[in-house]
Structure 1
Amino acid sequence: MRVVANGIGIEVDDAGPPDGEPLLLVMGLAMQLVAWPDELLDALRRRGFRPIRFDNRDIGLSQWFDALGVPSVAWAALRYGLRLPVRAPYSLADMAADTVGVLDALGLPRVHLCGASMGGMIAQHVAAAHPGRVKSLTLMMTTSGARGLPPPAPAVRRALLQRPRADDPAGALALMQQLLTLIASPAYPPQPQALRQRIAASIERAYHPAGATRQLLAVIADGDRSPLLRRIAAPTLVLHGRDDPLVRVAAAHDLVSKIAQAEIDVIPGWGHDLPPALMPRLADAIARHAARAAG
C-alpha cells in the first residue's frame, strides 16, 4: 500500500499480525523493501512481532525525485576526500523524516526500529531526533560515518563506483550480482542462480538507478554522525558481521563506544547481506533485545 509520509508517497508492506509488536525495518542503499527476506519476516512474526517494511524515497515503488537531477558521485567523493562540503539533492535527515512519517501514517506512536546499512544511518537520525518514537534500536551492518574507520575492501569500492545506465537493466543485473557476491557472507555464500533470480525480480518490480545515486550522495554528504549518537537514548543493539567487507567490523565497535546503553553482537562468517541461514539468529537477537528494552 502507498501512504503519504512527510508529504511524499511511500510504499509500505505491513502484513501483520495486527496484534504483534510493531517493528519498523529500514533498508539500505539502492535496496527495495523486498530485500528484507521473507525468512526473516516469518521468523520475526513467530517471535511476536509485526514487521513493517517500506521503500525509501527515490527507490522501488516510493516517490522518485528525478526533477532533482543526477549528481556526480566522483565529484562528491573528491570533495569528501578533500574535507569540503558535499551537496546532495536531499539528506539522510529528510529520509529519517520520511520514516517517522510512515509511523504517523500507520498510527504508530512508538515502535522497535531496525535499520540495515544505510537504513541504520537513517535509524540513527530517527532515534536521535525522535527519542519518544523508538522503543528499541537495532543497528545492523552500519556505521557512524566517522573518518578514520577502515574503508571497504578495494574490490568492493571499485564495484560501488560502477553506475548502471538508465536504459540497461541487463547491465544493472550483472553489476548488482557482482557487487552482492563480493559483499556476501563467506560462511553463507549465495547460490548464483538464486541470487540472480532475486535481483531480476527486484529490477522487474522497479528499476531506478538515478534514485540510487541520489541516495548515495545523501550518505556521503551526511558525514560523521558521532555527535548525533550522543543523543540516542533508546536501548541499542549493534549487529555486525566479523567478515563484512563493505562496512568493516571496526564500525560496530565505534558505534558501541559512542551510544549509551549499546550492546554488540559480532557474528563470525557474516558479511554484508542477509543470508537465510542467519535469519533465526538475527530474529532471536532482535527479540531478546526488544524484551530487555521492555523490561
Structure 2
Amino acid sequence: MSDPELVLFLHGLGDSPASWDAVIENLPAGMQGIALNVPGLSLEQDLESAPFELHRAAAHVRKELDSLGVAQTHLCGLSLGAMVALQTAIDSPQRLRTLTLVAGQVKPPRWLMTLQSTLVRMLPAKVFGKDGPNKTQILAALKAAKTVDFSTSLSDVRIPTLVLCGSRDRPNLPAARRLATEIPDARLRIIPDGGHTLNQSSPALIAKELGSFIAG
C-alpha cells in the first residue's frame, strides 16, 4: 500500500493552523494534510520570539519537512501563507511536488497594507492572541508584507502550480490572474461567490480542487 500524498498547509494573517481543519477533514482518500504554524504568527513560545520575515518562514517549512523525514511535499498557503509558500518554491523548489496559492499576492498593495495596519491599531490588544497572533505580531507582519515583491521571480517557478481565488476577493483577483499568467503552466481557478478565506467558507470545495489538481 502506497504512502498517502502529504499536503502542508500555511495559514493567513490573523489565523492559526486550525483554520485548515475542515479542508484537511475533506481531503480525498490517499491524501494527508498537516497545517503548520507560520513563525512570527504563532502562539507557540518557540516560534513567536522573532517577528514575521518571509525567508525565515520559508526556512521553517523546510525545517518541518526535515523533522518529518519528508523529501518532497505538496504545499498550499492562503494569503500571507501563500506568499510563504511561493517563497519556499523559489528558495527550495526541490522540496515541493506541487504548489497551491490561495488568495496570494505578487506585490501586496501598499494602500491595503496601510489600511489593515490602521484598523489593527484601532482595535484593543485583548481582541488578539486567543487562537492566533497577537496585535504586535500582526502589525509586524503587515510591515514586512509591504516589502514583498515577486514581480521578477514568477517566471522562475517551475513547479506545477494551482492558483485559487474567490470571485468576491477583489483585492486579490488581479494578483491571482498575474500569478497564473506569469508562473509557467500555472492553472487558475476562480471560485464563484467565494471570499478571501476560502479554507473556512468553502473547505469541501477547496479540498476537492486540491485533490483533482494533485491527482492530475
The yes-or-no answer on 1:288 pairing with 2:212 is yes
Distance 1:61 1:161, change over 3 A: same
Shift of 1:164: 5.0
**What amino acid sits opposite 1:232 in the alignment?**
V
Q: Are positions 1:269 and 2:196 aligned together?
A: no
Measure how far apart 1:244 and its partner are.
0.4
Residues 207/236 of structure 1: CA separation in 2 closer, same or farther (3 Å cut): closer
Point out where structure 2 has 5 or more consecutive residues left out of the alignment.
Answer: none
Q: 1:32 to 1:206 in 2, by over 3 A?
A: closer
2:145 aligns with 219
Counterpart of 1:64 in structure 2 is: 48
Hey, what does 2:15 align to over in structure 1?
31
Per-residue CA deviation, residues 42-96 of structure 1 (Å, 9 max, x unaligned), is 111x332110111111233332136xxxxxxxxxxxxxxxxxxxxxx65311211
Deviation at 1:132, TM superposition (A): 0.9
Q: 2:183 aligned to 241, 253, 259, which one? A: 259
TM-score, normalised relative to structure 1: 0.65
Residue number in structure 1 paired with 2:35 = 53
The CA deviation at 1:161 is 2.1
Contact 2:125–2:135 (8 Å) recurs in 1: no
1:276–1:97 Cα change, 3 Å: closer
Listed as ranges, the matches of 1:140-219 within 5 Å are 140-145=102-107, 152=112, 158-163=115-120, 168-169=125-126, 172=127, 203-205=129-131, 208-219=134-145
Aligned to 2:60: 98
Q: Equivalents in 2 of 1:147, 1:206: separation in Å? A: 24
Q: CA deviation at 1:278?
A: 2.0
Partner secondary structure for residue 105 of structure 2: coil
Instruction: Please name the residue that 1:116 is paired with.
Output: 78
1:77 aligned partner: none
Q: Which amino acid aligns with 1:213?
A: L
Superposed CA RMSD: 2.7
> Closer, same or farther in 2 for the Cα pair 1:240/1:218, shift >3 Å?
same
Give the paired residue count.
Answer: 213
Following superposition, the deviation at residue 233 of structure 1 comes to 0.8
Q: Does 1:137 align with 2:99?
A: yes
Answer yes or no: is 1:235 the counterpart of 2:157: no
**Where does structure 1 lack aligned partners over 5 or more consecutive residues?**
1-17, 67-88, 174-202
Amino acid at match of 2:62: V
Output one character per residue of 1:158-207: Cα deviation in whole Å (capped at 9) or x when no partner.
455222589741xx26xxxxxxxxxxxxxxxxxxxxxxxxxxxxx43455
For the residue of structure 1 that corresponds to 2:144, the secondary structure is: helix
1:14-65 Cα offsets, whole Å, 9 max, x none, are: xxxx9421100011123211122x3211111x33211011111123333213
Contact 2:43–2:133 under 8 Å retained in 1 = no
Q: What code does the residue aligned with 1:228 have? A: S
Q: Which amino acid aligns with 1:30?
A: G
Q: Give the AA of the match of 1:284.
A: K
Q: Judge conservation of contact 1:146–1:225 (CA < 8 Å) in 2.
A: no
Distance 2:63 2:123 in 1: 29
**Worse-superposed segment, 226-235 or 205-214:** 205-214
Equivalence for 2:169: 244
